[in-house]
Amino acid sequence: MYLAMTQQDYQEVINEAPRIVAKRLGLSADQDKAHLLDEISSKDQLAAGLLTKFIDTYTEWWETSCAATQGDANSEEIANTIQLLIDKRGQMRTALLSYLNSQYPTRI
């Protein structure tokens, strides 16, 4: 089985990612997702693009993983595709966090 998370876990990641980015950009995170994405895009288009790519990649991984659990979960091709998506998802997460850390460093 490829899913180590639930639908609720997935939704939490998708909903919280824009809030986390908004906070790093100094924006209010107490808005709906669509408004947050607009605000992020207005303040920093590169951050918005990286966030969108992360969400798209994460969603592609989730949907492929869900589909795999419904079919032949032992298929080597499916396993390879999912591994590639996991790697891509990690790369997008790293790119987004690296950009935010360089442009909007946190103060401890």
- Predicted TM-score (pTM) of the model is 0.86
pLDDT of residue 65: 84
pLDDT of residue 74: 63
Each residue's pLDDT, cut to its tens digit, for the chain (108 residues) gives 445 678 898 999 999 999 999 999 999 988 888 899 999 999 999 999 999 999 999 999 999 888 887 765 567 888 888 899 999 999 999 999 999 999 999 876
Q: Dihedral sign, CA of 95, 27, 17, 47?
A: negative
Distance CA 94, CA 79 (A): 22
Angle between helices 33-43 and 7-24 (to 10 degrees): 30
Burial of 40 (0-12, 13-18, 19+ CB in 10 A): buried
pLDDT of residue 1: 42
Query: Which has the closest alpha carbon to 43: 100, 90, 94, 93?
Result: 100
